[in-house]
Structure formats: C-alpha cells, structure tokens
Amino acid sequence: QVQLVESGVGVVQAGGSLRLSCTAAVRTFSCYAVGWFRQAPVKEREFVAGTTWNDIDPRYVDSVKGRFTISRNNAKNTVTLQMNSLKPEDTAVYSCAARYSDYVSSRVANYDYWGQGTQVTVSS
C-alpha cells in the first residue's frame, strides 16, 4: 500500500508560478513510477507529467511542455511539479499517482495509488 499526499495548493495570477509536492509513504519508493494528473470541472482527468524511478526521460503532455518540470528525490520520497508561466486553462485539481513499474503511463487506469488532490487556480 502506498499513501500519497500532495501539498502546494494555491491561487496565482496568469504568468505566475506554483510548486506542487507529492510525498509517498512507502519503503520502496524508487520502485514506482509517478505521474501528475489534473482534472478541471466537467472535464476528464488528464495526464500532465510523469517520471520513472531514476528521473530520466520525464514525460509531459504537450500543453505544459516548456512550462512544467517534474523531478523526484527518492531519498525523501518526494516528487515535485514546478509550474511556471501558468495559464487560466491550467486551473484544475492536481493529483499525483504511483504505479509499481519502471515505466510512466499516461493512462489513469494504469495507476494503483492516488493522492487526495490539491486545487490550483490561475486567475486571468
């Protein structure tokens, strides 16, 4: 069982930055790929970014490339999502998720463990 807790809820103006963190309560965190997903009102949950255990070759959805950066610290069991140049369309509930795998997946169904989610609001 993996417990995930997100932190970094915030309200920011367009063009601003926010940093989200995901902390995992598990002894073998390095065995898990971790993804960040988001869900805006009346929209489906979508993949935002993901990282493998060794933090090589992270993946991003096209809409955040060049603006968001995912990174992890296995010694601290954390994965962070640095979000820059935020846009109103980035407003959503952001959740981190983990899967016992060497590979990142963009599919919601491929993740076994989820955090409770944290609200990010970008005002225009």
CA proximity to 35, closest of 75, 84, 95 = 95
pLDDT of res. 86 = 98
Sheet hosting strand 3-7, strand order edge to edge: 3-7, 18-25, 78-83, 68-73
Cα separation of 104 and 51, whole Å? Answer: 6
**Whole-number pLDDT of residue 8:** 87
* pLDDT tens-digit series, residues 38-87: 999 999 999 999 999 888 789 999 999 999 999 999 999 999 999 999 99
Structure confidence at residue 78 (pLDDT): 96
Residue with tokens 């997903």: 37
pLDDT above 90: percentage of residues in the chain = 88
Instruction: Give which of 112, 102, 99, 114 is closest to 57, Cα–Cα.
Output: 102
Q: Distance (Å, rounded) from C-alpha 57 to C-alpha 72?
A: 12
pLDDT, tens only, 107-118: 999 999 999 999
Q: Is the pLDDT of residue 1 over 90?
A: no
